[in-house]
Amino acid sequence: MHTQATPLLTGRGLVKRYGQQYALAGVDIDIHAGEVLAIVGPSGSGKTSLLHVLAGILRTDEGQITLGGQRIDQLNETRRSELRRTEFGFVFQSGMLVAELTAEENVALPLLLGGRDRTTALGAAREWIGRLGLQGKEHRRPGELSGGEAQRVAIARAIAHRPKVIFADEPTGALDTRTGHDTVQALVESARTTNTAVIIVTHDRELAASLPRTVAIRDGRIEQAVPTA
Amino acid sequence: MNPVQLALRVLRADRRTRVATLLTAVGVAVATALVLLLASLPMAAEARAERALWQQPQYELSTGGGATISWSSSTDEIDGELITRVDVAPLVDPADVTLPPGIERLPGPGEMLQSPDLATLARERPPAELADRFGAEPVGLLGDDALRFPEQLVVLVGHSRDTMPDSAMELSSFGFGDAEPDELLSLLAGVGVVVLLVPSLVLVASASRLIAARRERRLAALRLAGATPAQVTAMVAAETGLAAVAGAVLGVAASPLLHRLAAFVPWAGGTWFAGDFVLPVWLVVPIALVVVVLVVGAAVAGLRRVVNTPLMATGTGYARKPLSWWRLLLVPAAVAVFFWTLTQASRQDGTMLPMLVALGVLMWSPSLVGPWITSALGGVFVRRWRRPAALLAGRRLRDDPKAAYRASAGVVLAAFAGSMALTLMPSLEAESGYYSQFREEVLYLTTSEDRAAAIVADADEALAGYGLDVRAARVDHADITSGQELHMAVVATCAEAKRLLPGTEGLTCRDAPAIYASQPLDLAKAGVHDPSTGSTVPLPADAPVAPMPAAADVVVVDPVLWPSGAPAQGVSVAVPATEKSREIVRTALLGASGGEQVISKEMMLGQQDTQLADLRRVTVIGLVTASLLAGVSAAISTAGSVMDRRRTFGALMAAGTPVRTLARALRAEAALPALVATLGAGALGTAVAVGLFGLVSQSAPVFSPWIAAPVVLGALVALLAAAVCAPALRRVRAEPLVDE
Ligand SMILES: Nc1ncnc2c1ncn2[C@@H]1O[C@H](COP(=O)(O)OP(=O)(O)OP(=O)(O)O)[C@@H](O)[C@H]1O
Ligand SMILES: [Mg+2]
């Protein structure tokens, strides 16, 4: 149904080179608002590169990226940072939380750095921690949480500022299958409530299969686009 | 593969390890060179003092009999520069007089040997200003071995026995042997070792922090793979040892250069011969070894955690490090011990070692108290934060106050030592009064009753010959008793008193000879005190008594009214001098007296100023060096703490946090403990100095705005260190997000 609408985020002819080697060799991709997309592929196929290019962490060597119809690939680093801070959210393989901060402070940090005041930021943080099932653990430090719990904190942090797209690079990589699936489920459900699109890079074919749409990538090219479910 | 090979392999592979190793080597080199210099200071001072022994009285040479020379020494000055003058007359065949090194022959009567710089000066200035003072012909130069320092102004004037000054004594030979050590310089060198070595070692420690996280992971992996603790320790020892040995060798190699530089720093009136600083090999080698052992020991000690709990180090295991309040007790305890040793030291002139040890403990105490304060401050931030910078800084300070404080340890030492020195100095300066019965500009010498008239006549003739209008006056002083009171009396005409004595500007002279006193004087009871018999010689009861301004605390008696047979306690010949006429008046007085000591209040104060200037110079050099080392190590450890958390920061930046925002937060974290610590150390240093000063003096210490200088310097260092945050973060951002 949403295939008819204008895509939220598009990539056209994306190329990323490292010296002689092509990490991305011409990728076209569309992501719609609120859509959940899995990117799969063997190691070294260019999954992380694609994610980073789309999110503006890396610059493309060729091709165009648009967000809501606007070109974003040519923005300078300051503008791209701002975009990442306001429109995007990120979940990495192992939380990458600030070890000294409590769970709720970690979630509040991006809001605080974005200029929100203490009360608002902590309020939003507590709300999301609650929604992700971590009530009572607001004051724990990352070192005092299990891997799955830490990932939920990371998800809360990625979504608390209500971004348009969440990028997740192997968010389950450090978790066992069961916990991994639960975590992704939590992410997907949270995103649905805010109409946030989610792009998940994963090695886990089974996990990918449980998501609405999967894109397979090999040697820096889209191999197939399989709309599932 | 042995540990050294493994270490070399790691060095080849890892750029950051190479940087850290290089920094370690540089830190060790600086430490080694500094310690070598400081260790050579007491010896250098002794070497120069030994060369100057012939210029100083050695009283034990005067008692034994078998005198070979009549000898006298005095100090003189030109343009505020000290001239040392030695007068000598042989009492035996001049060939039988043993000569000190650097003196080729004994100058005969009317001949003199000058130091090269004095000879040049004497040639350049009009004779009236300098050359005529010595009353002798230059016949040669003194060699380097006879000079305290290269540019010393010193003259050896030959006499026959009967032309020697009154103060001459008969000696069995010129002074020789072992010189007294320069206590002040030894003390400074001791303090310097502590003040400079600690920041150097902190620098080394900070360098190893740059790679701490990475190394811990590597070692933990090795431990998990089955390496024994001994093997792991050997590997780290090899890694650090390579850097330390290289650094020590570099330090030893660079130390002659540092000695060259140090030779230019004036101390006690002059610079040094480069050869003064030579250290014997038997001292160089152990010093270098000790530095290496200290560094390697510190590295191995830092390993305990990894060696004991290999698994902990791999995870993100989080352990809060609580600090107990008893740390706070350490400072008062250390201060108490320090003062105790200090009173001991001043009571029995024992060794300085216990005091130095206590000072070391005192300087170490902030490193225990600092973290507690840092942690407490962190607590306040965690509770009160409004902005993320305060939150991040607060959490980090609270969680690992030791690590946060470590960065500022060097700054603390510099601030401590600096504020201590700068508090003491103005206080000592205020102390350095010198009593003289004459006005500041008056030049005078003391002589005997017999010679006074001749000296006055000769001096007046010389003054007239040089075209000056001033004339010399004989001034005697004595004590006058009046009932229970004792007054100082000066025998002079009213006109002379007005020219020569302080506080007499408002004095109105009578036409007839009179006695002038600021307090009522009952002549019936008053008399001149004779200290040799204890009796008094009465003053003429009918003499007129006139008022003296209260500012002049002295009774002036006209020579006409002085009772005959009343003893003088001192006879002076005095001439008022102006800025312009000073050198010529000196020449006239010295020429007339043949080498008596000519004194003025400015000259005495000037010599004390020299010592204070020495101290201030050395303090500033030490402070700047320590701050430099501290700044570098603070910067390195800031960079290290950013690198430790690169994954977290990398992720935050990827998620759109600008470097600027993050850097602002980290700067607060880097600068705050240093700021707090410097203020604390400055206060402590000032307190210790006030205490020290209280031991040697009764008066209240003087505070100059300079005591703020170390704190300002320390704060500046902290801020500079904080400035590393942004570049370090940019480096982190430039690296791939996940690379380890
Ligand atoms: N910073 C870099 N410098 C050089 N080559 C790189 C860099 N980052 C990635 N590459 C190369 O680009 C290609 C794609 O890498 P990318 O990280 O996108 O793969 P990936 O699909 O995420 O692999 P994985 O599943 O192992 O994470 C790989 O061949 C990799 O070697
Ligand atoms: Mg990847």
Q: Is the pLDDT of residue B667 over 90?
A: no
Residue B123 pLDDT: 94
Is A78 in CB contact (< 8 Å) with chain B?
A: yes
Instruction: Decide the pairing of beta strands A165-169 and B545-547.
Output: unpaired
Residue nearest (by alpha carbon) to ligand 1 atom 16:
A46
Which ligand is closest in space to the CA of residue A52? 1
Is A11 in CB contact (< 8 Å) with chain B?
A: no
Return the minimum-mean-pLDDT range out of B75-89, B103-117, B355-369, B371-385. B355-369
d(CA A116, CA B386) in angstroms, rounded, equals: 10
Is B318 within 8 Å of A144 when comparing Cβ atoms? yes
- Does A117 fall in a domain? yes
Structural tokens at position B513: 């000879």
- With a 6 Å cutoff on the Cβ, whether A23 touches ligand 1 is yes
Residue B311 pLDDT: 45
For the stretch A87-111, what's the b/e string if a residue is b when 16 or more beta carbons lie within 10 angstroms of its beta carbon? bbbbbbbbbbbbbbbbbbbbbbbbb
The helix (H) or strand (E) run that includes residue A197 is strand A197-201
Q: Which residues pair with A199 in a beta bridge?
A: A37, A167
Domain tally, chain A: 1
H-only helix segments in B432-566: 449-465, 494-500
d(CA A154, CA A149) in angstroms, rounded, equals: 9
Which residues of A are less than 8 Å from B737 in CB distance? 52, 57, 92
- Does A3 fall in a domain? no
Q: How far apart are the first and last CA of chain B?
A: 24
| DSSP summary character for residue B267 | B
Which residues of A are less than 8 Å from B315 in CB distance? 143
Q: Å from A147 to nearest chain B CA?
A: 11
- With a 6 Å cutoff on the Cβ, whether A49 touches ligand 1 is yes
Q: Is the pLDDT of residue B533 over 70?
A: yes
Residue B681 in contact with residue B415, Cβ under 8 Å? yes
- Does A140 fall in a domain? yes
Is A38 in CB contact (< 8 Å) with chain B?
A: no
Structure confidence by residue, pLDDT tens digits, A30-67: 999 999 999 998 888 999 999 999 998 888 999 999 99
- Does A44 fall in a domain? yes
Residues in contact with A176: Cβ distance below 8 Å, sequence separation at least 6, in sequence order: none
Q: Do the interacting molecules here have an ipTM over 0.85?
A: no
Q: How far is CA B585 from the centre of its chain?
A: 34
Average pLDDT, integer, range B610-626? 79
Instruction: Decide the pairing of beta strands B111-114 and B137-141.
Output: parallel
- With a 6 Å cutoff on the Cβ, whether A46 touches ligand 1 is yes
Residue position matching structure tokens 């020299």: B610
- Does A148 fall in a domain? yes
Structural tokens at position B352: 């300085």
Residue B28 in contact with residue B291, Cβ under 8 Å? yes
- Does A22 fall in a domain? no
Q: Is the pLDDT of residue B738 over 60?
A: no
Average pLDDT, integer, range B144-158? 95
- What CATH number corresponds to the domain at position A37? 3.40.50.300
pLDDT band at B431 (very low <50, low <70, confident <90, very high): low
List strands edge to edge, sheet with A62-67.
Answer: A21-31, A9-18, A62-67, A70-71
Instruction: Decide the pairing of beta strands A165-169 and A88-91.
Output: parallel
- Does A67 fall in a domain? no
Q: Nearest-CA neighbor of B465 among B579, B585, B574, B580?
A: B585
Return the minimum-mean-pLDDT range out of A70-74, B215-219, B455-459, B554-558. B215-219
Which residues of B are less than 8 Å from A143 in CB distance? 315-318
Structure confidence by residue, pLDDT tens digits, A79-133: 888 888 889 999 887 767 888 889 999 999 888 877 889 999 999 999 999 988 8
Is B392 in CB contact (< 8 Å) with chain A?
A: yes
Residue position matching structure tokens 């996990």: A207
**Alpha carbon distances (Å) from B692 to A209, B63, B194, B338, B339:** 80, 39, 18, 10, 8
Residue nearest (by alpha carbon) to ligand 1 atom 14:
A46
d(CA B23, CA B393) in angstroms, rounded, equals: 27
Q: At what angle do helices B708-722 and B409-431 cross, to 10 degrees?
A: 160
| DSSP summary character for residue A56 | T
d(CA B594, CA A21) in angstroms, rounded, equals: 96
Q: How far is CA B322 from the centre of its chain?
A: 40
Q: Is the pLDDT of residue B310 over 50?
A: no
Q: At what angle do helices B15-51 and B601-644 cross, to 10 degrees?
A: 170
**Alpha carbon distances (Å) from B413 to B198, B399, B517, B678:** 8, 24, 56, 8
Is A81 within 8 Å of B656 when comparing Cβ atoms? yes
d(CA B649, CA B442) in angstroms, rounded, equals: 73
pLDDT band at B313 (very low <50, low <70, confident <90, very high): very low
Is A93 in CB contact (< 8 Å) with chain B?
A: yes
A177 alpha carbon – ligand 2 mean position (Å): 18
- Amino acid (one-letter) located at B503: G
Domain with A101 in it = 32-56+77-227
Is B395 in CB contact (< 8 Å) with chain A?
A: yes
The secondary structure of B87-108 as a DSSP string is EEEESS-GGGSPPPTT--S---
- Does A194 fall in a domain? yes
Residue B700 pLDDT: 72
Structure confidence by residue, pLDDT tens digits, B372-419: 888 888 888 889 888 887 888 888 788 778 777 766 666 677 777 777
pTM of the prediction?
0.71
Residue nearest (by alpha carbon) to ligand 1 atom 5:
A18
Q: Which of A57, A93, A143 sits opposite B316 (nearest CB)?
A: A143
Structure confidence by residue, pLDDT tens digits, A157-214: 999 989 999 999 888 877 788 888 888 998 999 899 989 999 999 888 888 888 989 9
More reliable by pLDDT, B178 or A38: A38
